[in-house]
């Protein structure tokens, strides 16, 4: 008896960003957000760069990565939160003048 083959469900780029941003909102301060996801080389996960952003300035740079499953709405790995916060602090300090000017 041949069983039917089922296509794997693929989580879209938009869903991946939403999953990542919801995850970040639970554990990180604001201004940390998902950038454009891309599939891993094996195709079994989305790699999502995490960036630090500010209004009127945009992205200050990358602070980490979140990995999201392509089949279920689940974060499967991420850069440690403290590491992302420290990277964000360094970017903030590097861009302090531009940040302050944008709010003037």
pLDDT (tens, 9 = 90+) of the chain, 104 residues, equals 565 554 566 899 999 999 999 999 999 999 999 999 999 988 889 999 999 999 899 999 999 999 999 999 999 999 999 999 999 999 999 999 999 998 88
Domain count of the fold of the chain: 1
- Residue 3 in domain: no
- Nearest C-alpha neighbor of 65 from the set 53, 54, 75: 75
Question: In this structure, are residues 95 and 60 in contact, taking their beta carbons and an 8 Å threshold?
Answer: yes
- How many helices (H) and strands (E) the chain has is answered by 3, 5
- Residue 71 in domain: yes
- Residue 82 in domain: yes
Q: What is the pLDDT of residue 3?
A: 53
Strand spans (E) along the chain: 32-34, 38-39, 45-54, 58-69, 75-78
- Residue 28 in domain: yes
- Residue 29 in domain: yes
48: domain range? 13-102
Q: Would you say the pTM of this structure is higher than 0.75?
A: yes
């Amino acid at each position: 008896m041949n069983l039917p083959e089922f296509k794997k469900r693929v989580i879209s780029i938009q869903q991946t960003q939403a999953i990542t941003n919801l995850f970040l909102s639970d554990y990180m301060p604001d201004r940390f957000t998902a950038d454009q996801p891309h599939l891993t080389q094996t195709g079994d996960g989305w790699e999502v760069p995490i960036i630090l952003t500010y209004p009127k300035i945009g992205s200050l740079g990358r602070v980490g990565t979140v990995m999201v499953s392509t089949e279920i709405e689940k974060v499967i790995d991420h850069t440690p939160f403290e590491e992302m916060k420290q990277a964000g602090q360094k970017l903030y300090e590097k861009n302090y003048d531009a940040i302050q000017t944008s709010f003037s």
